[in-house]
A and B are shown apart, each in its own frame.
Chain A
Amino acid sequence: MLNYVLRRIALLVPTIIGISICAFAFVRVLPGDPILAMSGQHGVTPERYEILREQFGYNLPIWQQYFNYLWGVMQGDFGISLATKRPVINEFMTLFPATMELAFVALLFAVIIGIPAGIFAAIKRGSWFDQITMGVALTGYSMPIFWWGLLLIIFFSGYLGWTPVSGRIALTFFLKPITGFMLIDTLLHGNWPAFVSALRHLILPAIVLGTIPLAVIARQTRSAMLEVLGEDYVRTARAKGMSPNRVINVHALRNALIPVVTTIGLQVGLLLGGAILTETIFTWPGIGKWMIDSISKRDYVVVQSGLLIIALIVMSVNLIVDLLYALINPRIRVQ
């Protein structure tokens, strides 16, 4: 197993280098000049321009700029945001918990509904429940989530007035961040009304972001379950006279859930992509909104480092999923 882990990690090294080159190169070919973007509308004198160029290392040859950047990244220095003049990594750290919280609740929503729905659909294959569930799942899978978010706002915020339209918590609450996760922080402060407010802010964005993963998980659970239910050992268990519940819970479910776990892990990239749209619609202060704002503001440093960090997160999660899969399924390890 250790051998397999090391081999997988070694395989990632060229990909990581490639990602860093891409992130670095993308930003160099973006139209516009970073110094001019930084200096805003007032512009800079030619002398000052040269000083700034030197200060930020833009006068060096391109490969040297790249290695300086890489060297900085390895020491945790992801550069300084052109727009806010704060270190990119600090900005990331303050915004990331918001996205994590949103993505986690979205995934929880998807798993809690998706897995049971998939299981029942498989057990009752061909029934009206199966047909409706799979119809809804395919609709969810086809959903333009930015529109879905707007619809939910129209109905729940506009028509019923149940939920707020934007942000993470009502502006009347001032809480010192502890973990950065609003739901946890409000509880740690023992502030119940604040917790309720945070929850009400979170619920619609989480549903929107969780919709496609929910559909994917429900479909995957159903097909994995159907496959397992057709296996010989399930028939044997039935033939031995086991109760249908025991056959499903003990024999079928455990094996069916292996591919589902992988599917859940692979939703993380999707969630980070979906966060861009969801956070834009609900003005959720997370990394998705941060990235799109930085792209439109032409904040090169943030785009470059943000791309790099996000890609590294997606890759790490995929690696963990692969390793977990190998742990459960020994056949993968020997290839």
Chain B
Amino acid sequence: MATSNTSANAPASGLREFWFYFSVNRGAVIGLTVFAILVFVAIFAPLIAPYAPDVQFRDALLRPPIWDANADPRFILGTDPVGRDMLSRLIHGARYSLFIGFFVVVGALIVGVVLGVLAGYFRGWVDVLIMRIMDIILAFPPLLLALVLVAILGPGLFNAMIAIALVLQPHFARLVRAAVMAEKSREYVTAAKLSGAGHLRLMMVTILPNCLGPLIVQATLSFSNAILEAAALGFLGMGAQPPTPEWGTMLASAREFILKAPWVVTFPGLAILITVLAINLIGDGLRDALDPKLKRS
């Protein structure tokens, strides 16, 4: 009776312990709050945004934000060169950035974890082959490799996401491989093996859950990296294509107006910065909470 009680409580207290360490970090809580707001905005974008992202107000081209004397009260953050409402486009842009981050992380995570587990579990030639391929990918500057991959696949948001996932995935593979190698010789793994667990079960059920901490931290870092790289590709004309309200693409098409209308450049970049900063704050908090070495007892 007592044992079943403790095992039922274990996950809850684990979560509570995690929250205890996470919430010590004020920045992390702020980051989480901002991120939650962004997710909310992204999900309900069509309801929140005052206008559709692609509707053009021909009578209000390049209007400054509301605090400027020449502002048009209809457009809080002003309009872009073809008279689209900046605020509405930014709000819809949140959907793209968060979706990019999510998709890329899930893709990179799945591929990276599978390769890393295989390399760390089987060692030998499997390990050599996989890790040499990862070395090759890591030898190229990530943005350059992503650019070439997008040039091969054709410019566009989806191809950009695939390219970025491919470029970020070796970090997961290396991390998982190292963790699996460290865990593999532990007694609980031997015990599971003796009780007849197969390779797949040993890899995925026995070992993998114990490598989760660093993986979660890496996933957070990759989330923000993915958003930055996708915006950079969009900025270079190789990511999402206009008129998509993706923040990097918005910056690219606003570039020629930087001195005439600074707001069309300022706001999309600020949106990227705030999103990435919020995620990195969460990442720092997660690292502190999940890394037992750093825990202050």
| A interface, CB within 8 angstroms of B | 14-15, 18-19, 22, 26, 29-31, 135, 138-139, 141-144, 146-148, 150-151, 153-154, 158, 269-270, 272-274, 276-277, 280, 291-292, 295-296, 303, 307, 310-311, 314-315
Contact = CB atoms under 8 A, between A and B. Distances in A.
Contacts of A273: 141-144
The 3 lowest CB-CB distance pairs between A and B, nearest first, are: A147-B269, A273-B141, A142-B276
Given A139-B277, A150-B258, A15 B148 contact: no
Contact of B139 (A146, A147, A315): A315
A292 B148 CA distance: 9
B139 A15 contact: yes
19 contacts: A18-B133, A19-B140, A135-B27, A138-B27, A138-B277, A141-B280, A142-B279, A144-B231, A144-B272, A146-B251, A147-B269, A150-B251, A150-B258, A153-B258, A292-B147, A296-B237, A307-B148, A311-B139, A311-B140
A314 B143 contact: no
Interface string B114-146: 000000000000000000110110011111100
A296 B27 CA distance: 41
Contacts of B270: 147
A147 B251 contact: yes
A179 B65 CA distance: 48
Given A22-B136, A147-B265, A310-B141, A30 B152 contact: yes
A147 B266 CA distance: 8
Contacts of B182: none
A151 B151 contact: no
B138 to A, nearest CB: 8
A270 B280 CA distance: 18
A30 B228 CA distance: 25
Contacts of B224: 142
A199 B165 CA distance: 38
Interface string B135-169: 11001111110011101101000000000000000
Interface in B28-55: none
A269 B152 contact: no
Interface in B205-246: 224, 228, 231-232, 235-237
Contacts of A270: 141
B269 A307 contact: no
Nearest to A165: B259
B287 to A, nearest CB: 11
B268 A15 contact: no
Given A154-B258, A276-B147, A310-B140, 10 more contacts: A15-B132, A18-B136, A26-B152, A29-B152, A31-B154, A135-B27, A277-B232, A295-B151, A307-B148, A315-B139
A22 B235 CA distance: 26
Nearest to A318: B139
B228 A144 contact: yes
B273 A147 contact: yes
Contacts of A314: 139-141
B136 A19 contact: yes
Contacts of A15: 132, 135-136, 139
B62 to A, nearest CB: 15
Nearest to B139: A311
B265 A151 contact: yes
B78 interface: no
A310 B255 CA distance: 28
Contacts of A19: 136, 139-140
Chain B binding surface, main DSSP class: helix
A134 B120 CA distance: 35
A270 B225 CA distance: 12
A129 to B, nearest CB: 16
Max chain A CB contacts within 10 Å: which of B133, B149, B232, B276?
Answer: B232
Contacts of B268: 147
Contacts of A30: 151-152
A273 B167 CA distance: 13
A41 to B, nearest CB: 21
Nearest to B275: A142
Nearest to B272: A144
Contacts of B72: none
Contacts of A142: 224, 228, 273, 276-277, 279-280
Contacts of A310: 140-141, 144
B262 interface: yes
B90 to A, nearest CB: 13
A146 B144 contact: no
B281 interface: yes
A102 to B, nearest CB: 15
A295 B147 contact: yes
A139 B269 contact: no
Most buried by B among A141, A150, A153: A150
Given A144-B269, A144-B273, A276-B147, A292 B141 contact: no
Interface in B254-290: 255, 258-259, 262, 265-266, 268-270, 272-273, 276-277, 279-281, 284
B195 to A, nearest CB: 33
Nearest to A272: B141
B248 interface: yes
A143 B266 contact: no
A298 to B, nearest CB: 8
B244 to A, nearest CB: 17
A30 to B, nearest CB: 5
A9 to B, nearest CB: 14
B270 to A, nearest CB: 8
B265 A276 contact: no
Contacts of B132: 14-15, 18
A195 to B, nearest CB: 27
Contacts of B284: 138
Given A22-B136, A139-B273, A151-B265, A31 B152 contact: yes
